[in-house]
């Protein structure tokens, strides 16, 4: 089928891919724009994976304040060069990640950062739940591991569905940017503050200590 120059231009603007790649993607998807975007994304992710081992020591530290000053986030995202660090698309990516952290409150960047004792505690809870529900012994471990996978997706930033597009994850969002910008991009660390977080518990603990001392 004939691919129009208008369609190629639109696809290039949406993905940053080359002209020939856009033509091939549109041909493969029979002219369907979303299909072509997905085709290029899949191909781009494969190329992007090859870049993830490269050193990334430039980048941005960005702050994001949400909810009228009730939630604040600091996030560091690294890239390979100062040139990309100053790129508007890279800055927009970092802002999106910070906004996502504010909204979804992840606890870790990636699953290998979750402490082993936390993982084991969760696994034991899930196994106990499976036993109490009367599940056969041979499926209890499988159920626990399945729930542990969901736990990782709940608490690890890179595995969470992106708050602005639930069809993609933060990891895929980053890999898409790697494919377009041509550099390794690494979410290194973040911290999230919420006004009043933890104060009530500490106050209650202190009150209990005072009461015990007076008793």
* pLDDT exceeds cutoff 70 at 213: no
* pLDDT exceeds cutoff 60 at 203: no
What is the CATH code for 58-111+156-200?
Answer: 3.30.479.20
The DSSP string of 48-109 is HHTTTTS---EEEEEEEEETTTTEEEEEEEEES-HHHHT-HHHHHHHHHHHHHHHHH--SBS
Q: What is the pLDDT of residues 22-58, one digit of tens each?
A: 888 899 888 888 888 888 877 765 566 667 677 788 9
* pLDDT exceeds cutoff 70 at 95: yes
Instruction: Tell me the CATH architecture of domain 5-49.
Output: Orthogonal Bundle (1.10)
What is d(CA 163, CA 96) in angstroms, rounded to the nearest whole number?
A: 9
Residue spans in the chain of domains classed CATH 1.10.286.20: 115-153
pLDDT category of residue 110 using cuts at 50, 70 and 90 = very high
Q: Evaluate whether 196 touches 69 at the Cβ level (below 8 Å).
A: no
Residue spans in the chain of domains classed CATH 3.30.479.20: 58-111+156-200
According to DSSP, residue 182 is labeled: -
Q: What is the pTM for the complete model shown?
A: 0.72
Question: Please, what sign has the CA dihedral across residues 98, 100, 101, 102?
Answer: positive
Strand order in the sheet with 71-79: 58-66, 71-79, 186-194
Match domain 115-153 to its CATH number in 1.10.3720.10, 3.40.1350.10, 2.60.40.1180, 1.10.286.20. Answer: 1.10.286.20
Q: Evaluate whether 124 touches 116 at the Cβ level (below 8 Å).
A: no
Beta pairing partners, 77: 60, 187
Residue spans in the chain of domains classed CATH 1.10.8.10: 5-49
According to DSSP, residue 156 is labeled: B
Give the model's pLDDT for residue 10.
Answer: 81
């Amino acid at each position: 089928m004939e691919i129009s120059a208008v369609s190629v231009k639109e696809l290039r603007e949406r993905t940053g891919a080359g002209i020939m790649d856009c033509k091939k993607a549109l041909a493969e998807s029979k002219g369907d724009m979303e299909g072509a975007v997905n085709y290029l994304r899949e191909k781009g992710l494969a190329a992007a994976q090859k870049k993830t081992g490269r050193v990334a020591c430039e980048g941005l530290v960005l702050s994001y304040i949400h909810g009228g000053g009730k939630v604040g986030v600091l996030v560091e995202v690294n890239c390979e060069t100062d040139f990309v660090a100053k790129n508007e698309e890279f800055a927009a990516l970092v802002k999106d990640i910070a906004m996502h952290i504010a909204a979804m409150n992840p606890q870790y960047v990636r699953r290998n950062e979750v402490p082993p004792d936390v993982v084991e505690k969760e696994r034991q809870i899930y196994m106990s739940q499976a036993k109490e529900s009367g599940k056969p012994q041979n499926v209890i471990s499988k159920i626990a591991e399945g729930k542990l996978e969901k736990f990782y997706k709940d608490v690890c930033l890179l595995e969470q569905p992106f708050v602005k597009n639930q069809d993609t994850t933060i990891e895929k969002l980053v890999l898409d940017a790697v494919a377009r910008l041509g550099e390794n991009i690494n979410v290194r660390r973040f911290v999230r503050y919420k006004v009043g977080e933890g104060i009530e518990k500490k106050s209650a603990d202190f009150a209990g200590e005072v009461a015990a001392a007076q008793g």
